[in-house]
Amino acid sequence: MDLLMMLALTSFACPLVWSKLDTSVCNQTKSNNTGPPLPRLPDQLTVQVEVNDVKQNVTIDVREWHDGTGNRGAALQWVVGVPLKFIYSYATNEMFTITQVNGGTASNCRVGELNATNQPFLFGVQAGASGKSPHIYSTARALMFGGDQQEQYVGRSTARGIPTDVWQSCVYWPDLSATMLVEWHFSVPSGWDTALGRSQIPVRCHIKGNKVNQGQVIAFEHMYEITQFRDYLEGTPAGTVCAGRKQTKPLPELPTMFAYSAEELNVEESFIQYLKKAYNLNRKFAMLEFMNPFPAPAKVRQIDDFNSGVSYFIDMVRGNCSVSIINPDAFDAVRTTSGLVRMRSPEEFFFGGETDYSYEGIRNIRGLNSEVWVGTRWGWPPNNPTNATWEYYFAMPEWTEVAGITSAHHMPISIHVTLGRFQAHQVYNLYNFRDDDPDIWTYDITSCFDVRSLRQIQMTFTVRSPQLQAVLDNQLAFRRSLMVSVTSQIPLSPIRVNRITLEFRTTAVDVSLVLTDRVQLPYPVVDRPLQEVDLNTAVQRLQAAISGNTFVVPLNLTTGVMILKAGPYSSPTPPAPSTSHTPSTPPVPSTLARSPPTPGGAQRDAVCPSKTSGFTAGSPVCDAQKQHPCASRYTLYNCKLLL
């Protein structure tokens, strides 16, 4: 018996017509089933089948996937030691033939029209209604159990040591002139626990009959041992791209601003590293944070400001900073036809370039059912570019992640990269994906400027009790709105607004922030750069707005918009001296006093009156500095870094 017929018998795919049959095999006597109710088969299933041809002394292993809901099927078979997988998409009239290459480390996929082969009948196909595509048989009809069949319960038996309920039916296939007695064994519903947890699953199918070939009667007997029965599906093998595949589901849309953390696994090198990324198309900046192992391990933060074309590299351990123009080959940049640089779109930033991604289906990863898209990208890795297969996993929409002030649906959770030429794999597991506004003011760039290029601005918002409580309850939203008000009042990039701090009093909110100067570039870098003002002009304009009571911050609340108006900074009145307490700390000098840069600068500002430059760490002068009222402003680094 040829392999196609054996597979057909495995899938029971030929049309079923009750006509002439060999009565020496069985009779199609219709009778009422007096036994237990027939088990119900799921619309989707995956099953491993060992096909034993008793007459031919042949064993074939086949793995089948049947998806009545998705109108598709699949079969994996081994031929001369080589695995071949066939996927049948009835809805799109496509057949995918998948073979393994490179010793099984990668796969090739070929796409063809399903109706151009004899394969549609492997799972059974019925014509669709007018204007609709053909449809795969239901699982019951494909497995020839239930539905149109006339099963008769014959009692209990045992298959592979499993107690089973047994049903029989008599089937005739006119296309093969075959009459067969079909006997199904299902695990008993009670007294036996299945691996899947379903009350009854198929265990064995025994088929015995005769077929007529060129006038000769040929007896056949097949035993189908069914294992690994699952009521879910598997799709195209991971890391496989089927070029020319029809697009059945578009990629999820990405927001214009998001941030996430990632765990990068280089599988073959057994190497793990961690990184963070942030993207904000509205503010025109992107951030990458990673560990730089050379010359000594250090966390490095790269901030690219597409308002100006400036890239900041900050050593977050040593406080060092270098400034350059944005590299057109950076993770967030694209070179334009005019030779300038523009910011990548959200899709370009996340999915990379012009790549056609096809929908693969649903897989389970990290315990989450996820939808998968796959495509081939050129240019990875950057230092040795080649064709790489990229797979993107998005959690099913019913999963909700609360990772910020919003809830993200259909969130990305993993990216798998396969480098076929190098037989290498990279996995990026994504965590804490936030689709809200990244806190740009927390990406402090003050260490990139000397003291002459920094200014501290302070202001006071006089408020009533309800307003005070609203700001207390919405501090993050207030800071964001404050930054927007500053950049709306003055043409400067949001990245130049740093260190926004709030202090609360009974009837006031004191705000402090630090402005940096602009970086002068020798030539244009980005397309349509922001025409920024210098630091002195920015300070003058902001101070004029504060002094003139025209600087306002709108705070969006569920009850409406609350408008808060800023005034000049008013120092809080110190409490009366007490003999039992240490005298209160004198106030920090007010508006426009220059703020100290972060650790690593060459000088310290004179906001607080004392410095320790030139003294050895641990000396009496440095010990006294720790007790100074302004110690928090110096962050206790002066004694170490100003030697």
Mean pLDDT to the nearest integer, 351-376: 86
Give the sign of the dihedral formed by CA 612, CA 618, CA 621, CA 623.
positive
| Total residues belonging to the chain | 643
* Half-sphere exposure (Cβ direction) of 38: Cα atoms closer than 13 Å: 19
CA angle 108, 111, 114 (to 5 degrees): 140
**Predicted confidence band of residue 106 (pLDDT cuts 50, 70, 90):** low
Name the one residue in this structure whose structure tokens are 């109108």.
Answer: 71
Write down the pLDDT at residue 626: 40
State the Cα–Cα distance between residues 594 and 612, nearest whole angstrom: 18
Q: What pLDDT, on the 0 to 100 scale, is given for residue 631?
A: 40
Question: What is the structure's pLDDT at 355?
Answer: 79
Looking at per-residue pLDDT, the higher value among 117 and 334 belongs to 334
CATH 2.50.20.20 for the 257-434 domain, yes or no: yes
With contact defined as beta carbons under 8 Å apart, do 514 and 498 qualify?
A: yes
The residue that leads in pLDDT, 209 or 421, is: 209
* Least confident window among 270-284, 318-332, 371-385, 563-577: 563-577
Q: Which residues does residue 462 pair with via DSSP β-bridges, in sequence order? A: 508
Q: Residue 536 has which token pair?
A: 């002195």
The CA-atom distances, in angstroms, between 145 and each of 223, 310, 333, 504, 558 are 16, 69, 59, 74, 58
Instruction: Output phi, psi for 11, to 5 deg.
Output: -95, -10
**Whether residue 443 has pLDDT greater than 50:** yes
Average pLDDT over residues 2-24: 49
**pLDDT for the residue numbered 83:** 80
Q: Which two tokens stand for residue 262?
A: 């990632």
Per-residue pLDDT, averaged over 576-585, amounts to 43
Q: Kindly tell me if the per-residue pLDDT of 208 is higher than 70.
A: yes
What is the gyration radius of the CA atoms in the chain, in angstroms? Answer: 36
Evaluate if residue 421 carries a pLDDT over 50.
Answer: yes
pLDDT of residue 220: 93
- Cα separation, 132 vs 92, in Å, equals 11
142: confidence class by pLDDT, cuts 50, 70, 90: low
pLDDT score at 507: 93
Q: Give the residue extent of every domain in the chain.
A: 44-230, 257-434, 449-568
Domain 44-230 has CATH 2.60.40: no
Q: Tell me the mean pLDDT in the region 196-205.
A: 87
Give every CB contact of residue 134 below 8 A, 6+ residues apart in sequence: 90, 120, 125, 126, 127, 128
**Sign, Cα dihedral of 629, 634, 637, 643:** negative
Nearest 10 degrees: Cα torsion 266, 272, 276, 277: 0
% pLDDT > 90, the chain? 40
Question: With contact defined as beta carbons under 8 Å apart, do 561 and 569 qualify?
Answer: no
Confidence at residue 427, expressed as pLDDT on a 0 to 100 scale: 94
91's tokens: 């809805």
pLDDT at 595 over 90: no
pLDDT confidence bin for 401, thresholds 50/70/90:
low
Burial class of residue 509 (count of CB atoms within 10 Å of its CB; 0-12, 13-18, 19+)? buried
What pLDDT is attached to residue 232? 65
The whole-number average pLDDT for the span 163-187 is 90
Q: pTM of this prediction?
A: 0.64
Kindly state the average pLDDT of the residues 588-607: 33
Burial 439-458 (b: 16+ CB within 10 A, else e): bbbebbbbbbbebebbbbbb
Query: Which of the residue ranges 327-336, 415-424, 556-565 would you say has the lowest mean pLDDT?
Result: 415-424
Helix or strand holding residue 431 (H, E): strand 424-434
First to last CA, the chain: 89
Model confidence pLDDT, tens digit, residues 24-63? 999 877 666 678 888 888 878 888 888 888 888 888 888 8
Strand segments (E) across 496-632: 497-504, 508-516, 552-557, 560-568
Region 2-29 average pLDDT: 56
Q: Are 472 and 466 in contact (CB under 8 A)?
A: no
- Domains 44-230 and 257-434 are alike in CATH topology: yes
Per the DSSP assignment, residues forming a β-bridge with 44 are 67
- Higher-confidence residue of 115 and 48: namely 48
- Phi, then psi, of 53 in degrees rounded to 5: -90, 100
Q: What integer pLDDT is reported at residue 239 of this predicted model?
A: 74
Q: How far apart are CA 353 and CA 332, in angstroms?
A: 11
Q: Which residue has the higher pLDDT, 87 or 413?
A: 413
The pLDDT of residue 492: 95
* 100-109, 300-309, 565-574: range with highest mean pLDDT: 300-309
The pLDDT score that the predictor gives to residue 574 is 59
Strand partners, 162: 159
* Residue 103 pLDDT level (bands cut at 50, 70, 90): low
> Residue 313's pLDDT band (boundaries 50, 70, 90)?
very high
Detail the DSSP E strand segments found in 68-136: 72-79, 82-89, 94-101, 106-113, 125-126, 135-136
- Residue 483: what pLDDT? 95
- Greatest Cα pair distance, the chain, in angstroms, is 119
pLDDT at residue 504 tops 50: yes
Tell me what the pLDDT averaged over the chain comes to.
Answer: 79
pLDDT of 234 above 80: no
